[in-house]
Amino acid sequence: MSTINERIKSLVDYFSKGNNSDFANKIGINEANVRNYIANTEPKFNVLEKIVNNFEINFEWLLTGKGEMLKKEEKPIVKIVEGRDLVPKVVVVNEEDDEAFIPLVEYKAQAGYLTGYLDKNYIEKLPMYNVPGLYGGTYRMFQVKGLSMYPTLQDGSYVIGEFVESWEYMTDNRVYIIVTVNEGIIVKRVKNRINKYQSLYCSSDNREYGNIRIPIEDVKEVWEAKMHLSFEFLDPVTNYQKIADLEVDIYNLKEQIKHLEDEKGTNSPILLDK
């Protein structure tokens, strides 16, 4: 195993072509110190910190000599999956295959996704992110546009979906991202009627928006929503909740009136004090 002095010499050779003065300038120390570190003086921790902060190297290698000198750049691998009946035939993994790299389809890029979702080169150009807690699946992140799913999803927020391969087993009333031929990319709460009507019935959480029927032949991809990212913090009591509470109060009041009328044995109206 090499000594730390030999490892520093390797760094000087690699990053400064053996020029001690150039290496010293890059990390902000005196050239004489670099010569001493290469000779036999062990560097203090603050010097090691400067080296790591200025160069993309493996800190464990610098301290112990284990592993490779250069920090391994973890890049997502975009590959074509053969032998699959349903998409996505293009999936994204990393070299260790233990974390999910998630391509982001921003709203401005969604028109391109409709034609490029099977194109390895297109997927490679999308921004990609790691999200804690999402492992062992195939995911996409889509940006939400509009208020049709408000307050569940806000305009401009992001929803992460896990790929659904068996569409016939989709669960009613869950939120899905549906990639379609005619409607584009939609995020809706879905009722699965594939077996009965060969269609998906998509509804909005915002009652001001109507429902959409999607024939199954119009569907390209289905992603089940697993997580959403939002920049808006909603009031804990939404207008819909207030309306629901009001409906319950009115129903309860009607029940009380009916009970009083039954007790009096009359259908005449009962006046309640304010």
69 domain residue, yes or no? no
pLDDT at 81: 65
User: Exposed, middle or buried, 196 (CB in 10 Å: 0-12/13-18/19+)?
Assistant: exposed
Q: What is the pLDDT of residue 15?
A: 93
Domain that holds residue 247: 237-274
Verify that 120 and 11 share a domain, yes or no: no
Does 172 share its domain with 197?
Answer: yes
Specify the 3-state DSSP secondary structure of 202.
Answer: strand
Contacts of 178 (CB under 8 A, 6+ apart): 185, 186, 187, 188, 190, 200, 202, 214, 219, 221, 222
Are 70 and 58 contacting, i.e. CB atoms less than 8 angstroms apart?
yes
Q: Are residues 108 and 49 in the same domain?
A: no
Q: Which has more confidence, 64 or 25?
A: 25
Q: Could you read off the pLDDT of 152-200 as tens digits, one per residue?
A: 999 999 999 999 988 999 999 999 999 999 999 999 999 999 999 999 9
Q: What is the pLDDT of residues 205-262, one digit of tens each?
A: 998 898 999 999 999 999 999 999 987 777 666 666 677 777 788 888 888 888 888 8
Percentage with pLDDT > 70 across the chain: 84
Q: What is the pLDDT of residue 241?
A: 67
Count CB neighbours of 33 within 10 A.
16
Distance separating alpha carbons of residues 52 and 263, to the nearest angstrom? 84
Do residues 58 and 99 both lie within one domain? Answer: no
Q: Tokens 């009946």 — which residue? A: 85
Domain count, the chain: 3
Does pTM top 0.95 for this prediction?
Answer: no
Q: Tens digits of per-residue pLDDT, 86-97? A: 557 677 766 555
Check residue 274 and give its pLDDT.
Answer: 46
CA dist list (Å): 231 to 50, 62, 102, 153, 185: 36, 41, 19, 10, 21
The answer on 8 and 115 residing in a single domain is no
Output the six-digit token pair for 259.
């009970």
Does residue 208 lie within any of the structural domains?
yes
91 and 212 in a single domain? The answer is yes
Q: What is the pLDDT of residues 117-165, one digit of tens each?
A: 888 888 888 988 888 777 767 899 999 999 999 989 999 999 999 999 8
Rounded to the nearest integer, the mean pLDDT of the chain is 85
